[in-house]
Amino acid sequence: MQNIRHLSYSQIEEYFLSINEKKFRAKQVYEWLWQKHAHSFDDMSNLSKELRNKLASDFSFPALKVDATQYSADGTIKSRFETQDGYKVEGVLIPTEDRKTACVSSQIGCSLSCKFCATGTMERKRNLTYDEIYDEVVLINQQSERVYEKKLSNIVFMGMGEPLLNYNNVLKAIERISAEDGLFMSPRRITVSTAGVAKQIKKLGDDKVRFKLALSLHAANDVKRNEIMPINETNNIHALIEALNYFYKQTGNEITFEYILFKNFNDSQKDAEELVKVYRQVPADLVNIIEYNPIDNAQFAKPDESTIQSFMGYLEKHRVNARLRRSRGKDIDAACGQLANKDRM
């Protein structure tokens, strides 16, 4: 049975004409699907029961539902969502005084096996569809309104999975999120984070996307990056620099580097020097230096505070626009790299 949210507006119109219904029914249904956020045909209260039953017999309407919720001491909220076919995936609401950010997932599990990431230990089950990604944002936005009385201000694709390996669904989800007849959020408030798929970064440029791009760098030479991120073996730093420059030339969009500090691995002055060299080869706006968040069965540790400050000081001295991003939601395994569908939710 076809998923009704995979039909275009004109296809829904055609459907209603084919069952001898008025065309305006398409507008009513489309609003329920994308603006009023119905999660079943029964929610469509301005349609007759007979018509709702007819829709239910002709189409499927798979929607995410919240399976479990955890609240951090710092205000972060982690949700585990369940798909219609029984898979679990996580999303996070990160509140600050001036921002309410949704961190959303794009895949169920991940195939990249980054050594510092809990999701990387999971098998990739499947891609999320664009309507499932849209549901994540809707449900987190509803949480934000309920708990903080404010709508989401930003969305980051930094949850489970590699967004650029689910390219079409991620772009279609962003199109719906930013559409006037969707959530109508500016693409400039959306950031897609990638572990580095050079070919797809260039494709983003060709597609003239309007959202921001973040590259999870985490090591500024190939030997170290190969060690912690196997994807680097086929998408090395030189290839990524070339792809990012192409992306920027095509779009002019903001680029950020993400760099997690690991004790005695990538936190020395030499590592900082190499990071400066990479930064200077790309028109990046910012380097986010991220605190490492411990995960089960990983051999990494967070550097001490003086090492972190020394690293930051070197970047500042060499005029790198760097910001230290403190962990949020660590006490509920909601921080960067910790999403793994743990059963203790």
Write the CATH number for 41: 1.10.150.530
343, part of any domain: no
Helix spans in 49-125 (H): 49-58
What's residue 344's pLDDT?
45
pLDDT in tens, the chain (345 residues): 999 999 999 999 999 999 999 999 999 999 999 999 999 999 999 999 999 999 999 999 999 999 999 998 889 999 999 999 999 999 999 999 999 999 999 999 888 888 888 776 788 899 999 999 999 999 999 999 999 999 999 999 999 999 999 999 999 999 999 999 999 999 999 999 999 999 999 999 999 999 999 999 999 999 999 999 999 999 999 999 999 999 999 999 999 999 999 999 999 999 999 999 999 999 999 999 998 877 766 688 899 999 999 999 999 999 999 999 876 666 656 555 454 555 444
What's residue 345's pLDDT?
47
Same domain, 84 and 50: no
Q: Using the 8-state DSSP alphabet, how is residue 304 labeled?
A: P
Same domain, 72 and 154: yes
What's residue 325's pLDDT?
87
What is the model's pTM?
A: 0.92
Domain end position, chosen among 60, 83, 110: 60
CATH of residue 184: 3.20.20.70
What's residue 144's pLDDT?
97
| The three-state (H, E, C) secondary structure of 168-233, written as one string | HHHHHHHHHHHCCCCCCCCHHHEEEEECCCHHHHHHHHHCCCCCEEEEECCCCCHHHHHHHCHHHH
Same domain, 26 and 77: no
199, part of any domain: yes
Same domain, 48 and 83: no
Same domain, 172 and 301: yes
Long-range contacts of 28-33 (CB under 8 A, 24+ apart): 29/4, 29/55, 30/181, 31/181, 33/4, 33/5
Same domain, 144 and 281: yes
Residues designated as active site: 90, 336
Same domain, 171 and 226: yes
Same domain, 174 and 204: yes
User: Which domain does 277 fall in, by range?
Assistant: 65-332
What's residue 332's pLDDT?
57
What's residue 291's pLDDT?
87
76, part of any domain: yes
Same domain, 15 and 147: no
| 42: helix, strand or coil | helix
What's residue 334's pLDDT?
54
340, part of any domain: no
Same domain, 190 and 235: yes
Please count the structural domains in the chain.
2
Same domain, 32 and 69: no
What's residue 122's pLDDT?
82
Same domain, 135 and 260: yes
